[in-house]
Amino acid sequence: MSTLPGGDIEIAGKTVSRLGFGTMRLTGPGTWGDPDDRDHALSLLRQAVNRYGITHIDTADAYGPHTVEHLIRDALHPYPDRVLIATKVGMLRPEPGAWTPHGHPAYLRACVEASLRRLGVDRLDLCYLHRIDREVPLVDQLAVMKALQDEGKIGHIGLSKVTADDIREASKEFTVAAVQNVLNINDRHDPVLELCRDQGIPYVPYRPLDAGNLAAGHGLETALSWLFQLGPHVAPIPGTSNHHHLAEIVKAVAFGGWS
């Protein structure tokens, strides 16, 4: 159990801190390449887990691409049993700042195999379909994720940037372990939030601080307070590349007094 303010949540069969750590910022500009100070990034990951007790670490093969999965392995492997490393597959990165969904089954399979190697594990505890590729039949994308789960290469499957209909369709093929959509106090309407609550699916808001627009002063406390009060199924993953800002995030959660 976490001692981090904000309490715990069960995601992908593990009890982890409701406050997670999003790692997209641990790259170069445009979510591209290595960070300016690699040792600093490694230290930040260790601090999140070992000092603050954040046990839900969120990443993706597209961050860098591949950069952050390598960083996580170098910083935290062998992973403590209490820590959940969640990654995502299904996105091409043609250049800095560019993101293109690619859901061809062979590509998704190759991505999972590569993430296993980069993270140094035999199974991805939680793997999201990063984006549904609307040019590929959804049933084909879901089928390969389920096949990889059946083969033991994925423990639990999540969905990212999806609609309620997407969740219902996926639920015919496998148990949806978590849903990741944009939600913050400036972008506060997502009908999927209630669906997840009703179906007992953890809801993981990404961009919870509106890409940094809510990251300063009392705005940070207000933004995180609003998210935590939406329900115990909500587990935000704010991200930063700065030690001081990470401390401010944890302090803001403590200020809210959730448990």
Catalytic residue positions?
Answer: 63
Torsion of CA 183, 188, 192, 193, to 10 degrees: 80
Q: Angle 57-48-194 (CA atoms, 0-180°, nearest 5)?
A: 45
Sheet holding 154-160, edge to edge: 21-22, 56-58, 84-89, 124-129, 154-160, 176-182, 203-206
Q: For residues 207 and 170, is the Cβ–Cβ distance under 8 A?
A: no
User: 72 phi and psi, to 5 degrees?
Assistant: -60, -45
